[in-house]
Structure 1
């Protein structure tokens, strides 16, 4: 049985993720106390369900602290358990709560929304690194659904490499395991005919192929990731996210992410272009 656990900060898109999994054929349960996980999974297993998604977060109260132990019990019992941890920048979460006018789950304590978010971050600190982190700060609901489907469609028995391009001027991604800065490389933004294009376009690729320093950085990143990939795989990691940033996230970082994804092979490799996705 495959069990996907959804957790993270309120307002980060957990409901969107759970609905995406339901559309993908998972039997979904929202807001389940962590202490009931083993019993619930066993029950639905008896009815023939082999793909289950469960949302576990601060709404579960004190039982949330039992999640690491319950995950280990389920894995020891032979279940394939993966945790997706959704998060976003504090300013983004405050804006979302303001726009939707929904109450934060911790607002009953008389705290402001920002204080509630800080309190929630502390409560979730123990499970923050138990799974794959997804920064939804700059993602639309449709893009989040796409990323969730891509992640859960991957073979859970293999380590999946995720290459993510981004622009530093829009903030660094929270979910990166490795982060590389490509702003020292030649920038096609200053070529008027290349400015409207992206790192996926052949004229941009031709521009970079003429600059040995670009290939040198790609080689260095490839060798580092390839060297340490087996160690991350032995650590029972399901995903490893490598983020490459440039100024705007349109040319250099996109080209490098695309090139690395091709070099590692498309099997068990996912691509994310944060700024291109946000631009539509």
Structure 2
């Protein structure tokens, strides 16, 4: 017999840090057929879900609430959510690094709601502390620091576009010099491979180009390493799914995020597709310009390989 709770429409509380992308999330969910409302007063939550006639909902609902919402109480809100009958409640907490939030506030010239007459970092600090109970109780914490709006929408389509009947696997690349991947569950470091950046004809290319891929494969450690990673992933991915994990992100990193990590992520995605998986591929730093400043010197690269 089917679990009756699974047939109930979802009620998603979209909350978290101001500036982390709540409006983008609600717009994306609305495009996917969800009923959405932003900055709903807490006292109106039950009425919005069931309406004046107390009718049973048939479509999923997303409610945006944060420190600007009237009656917002991060401690009491989860229990208020669970008390609403006829829906399956969930909490999505949107997080973002403080430096990125400050950049977004500077870019939009908006004031932080908790620091209207003070620097944005003061409001960010207060909000992070105030909303920590919601973060701890959230079903999903989504860090949007490194996600462009289109990538955020893709992530939401994977998570909320329908029933997930298999693990959503993402293979990504990034550059350590630009910050470690915040969304990765598993990270593999490719900085032991000879760096194509220091080869004149390869520097302007990326790991998507055949010449760079061929250069990486000539490294004696390349194929054995990817063989071992592939075997590990083929063993772990079904185990993660069996343990109840719906999303897995595997990240490959190099120094700048343009050559070795991109080539590794591209090859691993192909290997896993051949093995019957359906990975999504993302290259975080692919569009970043080449930089001698952040790349390792050939001497340091050789020393790491030894």
TM, length-normalised to structure 1: 0.79
- Matched residue, 1:164: 172
Consecutive unaligned residues in structure 2, runs of 5 or more: 1-8, 290-306
Number of aligned residue pairs: give it: 276
Bigger relative CO (Cα 8 Å, ≥ 6 apart): 1
| CA distance in structure 2 between the partners assigned to 1:173 and 1:212 by the alignment | 26
Residues 164 and 274 in structure 1, CA contact (< 8 A), matched pair in contact too = yes
- The 10-residue stretch of structure 1 (255-264 or 40-49) with the greater mean CA deviation from structure 2: 40-49
1:115 aligns with 2:122: yes
Residue 267 and residue 225 in structure 1: after superposition, are their counterparts in 2 closer, same or farther (change >3 A)?
A: closer
1:250 aligns with 2:262: no
Tell me which of 153, 164, 175 is aligned to 2:183.
Answer: 175
- Matched residue, 2:62: 53
Deviation, structure 1 residue 256: 1.8
**Which has more radius of gyration?**
2
1:88 aligns with 2:96: yes
Higher helix residue share: 1
- The 10-residue stretch of structure 1 (254-263 or 149-158) with the greater mean CA deviation from structure 2: 149-158
Consecutive unaligned residues in structure 1, runs of 5 or more: none
- Matched residue, 1:97: 105
Deviation, structure 1 residue 263: 2.8
Residue 177 and residue 208 in structure 1: after superposition, are their counterparts in 2 closer, same or farther (change >3 A)?
A: same
Deviation, structure 1 residue 37: 5.9
| CA distance in structure 2 between the partners assigned to 1:23 and 1:112 by the alignment | 35
Secondary structure of the corresponding residue to residue 128 of structure 1 = helix
- Matched residue, 1:241: 249
- Matched residue, 2:279: 269
